[in-house]
Structure 1
Amino acid sequence: MSGPLRLVPGEWDALPALPRPRTGTRVRPSWAEDPIDELAERLVEQIASAVHPYEVAALLESDGLTGDQITGRYDRPDLFTLAEDLYVRVPRHYPQPPPAPDPWRPDTVRCALRGLVFALPGLAYVLGAGLWQGPADVTGLIVSGLAAWAWNQALSHRAHLRLAAGGPSAAARTLGIGASAGAVGAAGIGLLASGPGTGAAFAAGQSCYLAAASVLLVLGKERALLATLVPAAAGGAGAWLQRPSDALAVVLLLSTVVLSACAAGHAVRAALRSGAPPSAGSRTGLLSSLPYGLFGLAAGTLAALAGLADPLSVVVLTLSMGFAEWLLYHFRSLSLAALRAATSLRRFVLLELRALALCLGAYLALLGVGSLAVDTRPGELLALGAVLWTALLLQAFSLAWLPALVPLAAAAAEAGAAAAGLSLDPLQLICRSAAAAVLAVAAARLLTRPTAHR
């Protein structure tokens, strides 16, 4: 039984033929792992994000894969065949890029500081109320304040243009000349309206402070401005408990005016030393800043008329300005998120309308709570708040004339009625509601265009 087995004639020919290895090629047993799968697993992230096999070929070549490895280890005739095999084996997967930083993320601390510097000057009027001598002084204060608001709004816009084009030094040149001219002009208007006296002096101090505040706010010096308000704010807060003497009130008010002027002058000098003057090509026409001045005039007129009818409503409105600015930034942030998330125009429009309703609704809710807290009329206050916030929103997107002319028309109608001796009770609500509706529709129509968010 130990001898060789006898084979039937022809049986050898029936056996299956064994494959012979090619010269220079190592045969991989059937039970061994496929080295192409190993290669695909090692380079899975890069291969999954490829949009064509040629990208995989370039990846393999940059990985140092040689021709001998391709034909020997991976048993493929050339690089492109191996790349096509890898491209087919690995499913497509295109990872999303990491989220970019949000440039419109609201700075809560900065908005709170700006809200304080918007609200605290109101205490100066509480402190200086005993210095006014009759309606002429009040008229001078109002007229000079309106002139200063209009001028400083236009000046701030122009200074921001110069800041973007030529840096802080260019903005400082504009502010140094424009703020001085505006303070002198507003003080002169106050003198003409009230005549010589304490009213004219108060109007001059008011004009100087408003000019200095505009300089500091444009140059980002909110903390310095807040520090200059300490004397007048402390005196005004103390006046609720015990009214100080006229001499002390004058000292406190002059301290705030002098400190703000010195801080503005220091900020301008520091900015002038920060860089070279801008090129001639960066200059823009004066007409571009005109609508911002008209809006300042309209907003000041509406606020003044609101104060004549209900002074507490102006207090609530002033205290809400910091939150209003925070909401402007938040809306820009929501708009950027909508641009990134929307895959169709319809989806973007819905997200943008939702953002507009959310931000405007939050601001009106704050005004409503404030009106309930001080027991003032909510209708006119909410309508005025909607007008101002929506106009500021449109201005933030460089839409200037519409948010200037609509509030200006409402202010002209109310001022004309007040000059004619008519009652403002129904007219204020009608004019402000109509203006708010026009601006809200304009914002919903214009800001739902993706091109508006460039």
Structure 2
Amino acid sequence: MSGPLRLVPPRPAPSAPPPPAPRAGGPRRPRWAHDPVDELIDDMGELVAEAVHPDEIAAVLEADGLTGDQVRERFGRRDTFELAAELYARVPRRHPEPLPRTDPWAAHPGRFLFRGLVFALPGLGYALGAPFLSGPPDVLGLPAGSGALTASALVGWAWNQALAHRAYTRLASGGHAAAGRCLRLGAPLGAVLAFVAALLLPAPGAALAFAAGQSAYLAAATALLVLGKERLLPLALAPTAVGAGLSLVLELPSWARVVALLATIGAVLAAATRATVRAMGPGPVNAPAPPLAASLPYGLFGLGCAVLTTVAALGDMVRYGAGAALAGAVVIALTLSMGAAEWLLYRCRGLALAALADSTGPNGLRLRAARVLGLCLAGYLAALTALVFTTHALWPAASPDTAPPPLGAARLLAVLALGAVLWSGLLLQAFGSAWPPAAVCLAAAGAETAALALEISAPAVVQLAVCGAASAVLLAFATALLGRITTHR
């Protein structure tokens, strides 16, 4: 036999009309074997061949107006997804060379270096105001006023994270006028709530005054950052920065310290007020406001991050008493690293788009996305490591009370684990996935707080274990998210 046995339909009777002429490119199936999917392949062949995932084909079919009922009647398939999967399986992959593309997420790193400095400079206010925070030990044996300042910072951090999300959302939907009106109400309310949190704990009057200034600064700085006026913050912080620098080389009188701090608070409040009023402008805002619940996970994420950072700074003092060292260098390093973190978030989004363009299938996209995620995270952790060593070496050590704790392997790895939690959580938020990082960070914060209260192991060891597990969970979420095509649309 010269070939496999094939079933041949009966030859048509002489009186029957002649069969239609074959199409160009090959013989046409006889009518008894006609499949409408073949015609669809003829019409959409190039698009199907270039698709990376069946969902791309399904999206095109639905965009062309093909409904589920039409798919069942015309093609005999359950829905557009089944039809798309069959088209994807029947047409070989053919991917043309990608066209030259521009990166929509390209950004100059200098801008983010500047933002990192803006985030870190307010810490100089603590150095300038430290002499006023004297008195009997506070709760848990911490220095006077620590409890009130910590409570105020936690509330302010959580509130302003949620406020920033809501204001940015209003900025995108209704422009500067909508964002300004959101900040006009939200920023003062957040400052009041943060100060009320400080009043709930016993503290000397100087500590409460400092908490009031801290609350006002956080609210005003949030407004300036949302409205794109962050360049005004270094100018407002200049008096505090100069005063803190002078305090390292000479003994500043109390009045000079107070004047420097008040000058910063007054300048930042004036700048934020002016920027907000100018942003609101005349006329109504027609864009609908999003529900308040949409900003809730961002606030909870901020609260969880604030607790984790506070435990990293004060954990040894709470665990071993006021004689233990304050890990302030760790907090400064984390704050400075936020500039690098933001830049690498931009790079991750740009590289993920390039990975999508270079991928020829779902598996290829997942592998490339995982590689991009690992590369950007490694870059951030390298920057954080350098900053930890630098701040630890430069931290003022005029007395044993101000010297930082030894930077052993456990403490360094714990800081890097905390950095990985912060960065991966921000990445998930940047891609619109807000609840996973909020839930994971709150759980990690609760676990570290419970371990500290129960005196389970050293704080650095607990932080390494808890933040290591939390970062692994968040990175698993991020890998799955970046590996989906719809994430990058």
- TM-score between both structures, scaled by the size of structure 2: 0.71
**Stretches of structure 2 lacking an aligned partner (at least 5 in a row):** 1-45, 47-94, 139-143, 317-326, 394-406
Which residue identity does 1:272 align to in structure 2? M
Distance 2:418 2:289 in 1: 35
Q: Deviation of residue 109 (structure 1)?
A: 3.0
Equivalent residue number for residue 53 of structure 2: none
Q: Name the % identity.
A: 49
Q: Deviation of residue 365 (structure 1)?
A: 1.2
Equivalent residue number for residue 422 of structure 2: 388
Q: Deviation of residue 160 (structure 1)?
A: 0.7
CA change 1:317–1:184 in 2 (3 A) is same
Residue among 470, 476, 479 paired with 1:435: 470
Distance 2:309 2:460 in 1: 15
- Structure 1 counterpart SS, 2:425: helix
Which residue identity does 1:400 align to in structure 2? A
Which residue identity does 1:130 align to in structure 2? P
Q: Deviation of residue 96 (structure 1)?
A: 7.0
Alignment check: 8 A CA contact 1:149 1:296 kept: yes
**Stretches of structure 1 lacking an aligned partner (at least 5 in a row):** 1-50, 52-93
Residue among 283, 289, 298 paired with 1:292: 298
Equivalent residue number for residue 370 of structure 2: 353
Q: Output one character per residue of 1:117-169: Cα deviation in whole Å (capped at 9) or x when no partner.
A: 10111111111111112434111111101100000000000001101110000
Which residue identity does 2:419 align to in structure 1? G
Q: Deviation of residue 348 (structure 1)?
A: 1.7
1:337 aligned onto 2:345: no
Equivalent residue number for residue 114 of structure 1: 115
Equivalent residue number for residue 211 of structure 1: 219
Describe how 1:190-339 pairs up with structure 2 within 5 A. 190-195=198-203, 197-273=205-281, 276-279=283-286, 282-308=288-314, 309=316, 310-339=327-356
Distance 2:449 2:252 in 1: 35
Equivalent residue number for residue 128 of structure 2: 127
- Structure 1 counterpart SS, 2:134: coil
Which residue identity does 1:113 align to in structure 2? F
Q: Output one character per residue of 1:401-453: Cα deviation in whole Å (capped at 9) or x when no partner.
A: 11011111111111223234444232111111110111111111121111111
Q: Output one character per residue of 1:50-102: Cα deviation in whole Å (capped at 9) or x when no partner.
A: x9xxxxxxxxxxxxxxxxxxxxxxxxxxxxxxxxxxxxxxxxxx997863432
Q: Which moved more, 1:371-380 or 1:344-353?
A: 371-380
Q: Which moved more, 1:371-380 or 1:178-187?
A: 371-380
Which residue identity does 2:432 align to in structure 1? S
Equivalent residue number for residue 481 of structure 2: 446
Distance 2:239 2:460 in 1: 37
Equivalent residue number for residue 158 of structure 2: 150
Distance 1:257 1:182 in 2: 16
Distance 2:176 2:96 in 1: 41
Equivalent residue number for residue 170 of structure 1: 178
1:418 aligned onto 2:452: yes
Q: What is the aligned length? A: 360
Alignment check: 8 A CA contact 1:191 1:203 kept: no
Which residue identity does 1:239 align to in structure 2? S
Q: Which moved more, 1:389-398 or 1:103-112?
A: 103-112
Q: Deviation of residue 195 (structure 1)?
A: 4.2
Distance 2:109 2:362 in 1: 31
Q: Output one character per residue of 1:252-297: Cα deviation in whole Å (capped at 9) or x when no partner.
A: 1111111000000011011112x743325x2211111011101111
Instruction: Indicate the RMSD between aligned Cα atoms, in angstroms.
Output: 1.9
Q: Deviation of residue 236 (structure 1)?
A: 1.6
Distance 1:116 1:304 in 2: 20
CA change 1:243–1:420 in 2 (3 A) is farther
Alignment check: 8 A CA contact 2:113 2:340 kept: yes
- TM-score between both structures, scaled by the size of structure 1: 0.76
Which residue identity does 2:284 align to in structure 1? P
